[in-house]
Amino acid sequence: MTNVDELKTKNFLHISQIRLASVDKIPGKAFQEAKSWAKIFHHTVFLCFSENQQVHYKKINDKLVVIALPFDLA
């Protein structure tokens, strides 16, 4: 089992099914969980979907980044 000190050197990818129109306001429990993971891991990426078929990127802090990718469900 990995201890917490080892996790501080690892990167974490959190994938969510939420769809965002922009990364100015990110709702939901999944993003709150990603913020919590960012306190433990070296870097955390929160990956989700974009509603408007554009790529959105926002650096929340030195440890957390949000990326919303276009995905057409049609």
Q: Is residue 28 part of a domain?
A: yes
Whether pLDDT at 25 is above 60 = yes
DSSP string, 55-66: -EEEE-SSSEEE
How many structural domains does the chain have?
1
Query: Is the residue at 72 inside a domain?
Result: no
Distance CA 39, CA 25 (A): 20
The predicted structure's pLDDT at residue 28: 87
CB atoms within 10 A of CB 11: 11
Q: What percent of the chain has a predicted confidence (pLDDT) above 70?
A: 95
Task: Give the separation between CA 1 and CA 56, rounded to whole angstroms.
Answer: 35
Is residue 68 domain-resident? no
What pairs with residue 66 in β-bridges? 46, 58
Query: Is residue 26 in some structural domain?
Result: yes
The answer to whether position 74 is within a domain reads no
Domain that holds residue 58: 4-63
Confidence bin at 3 (pLDDT 50/70/90):
confident
Q: What's the predicted TM-score (pTM) here?
A: 0.87
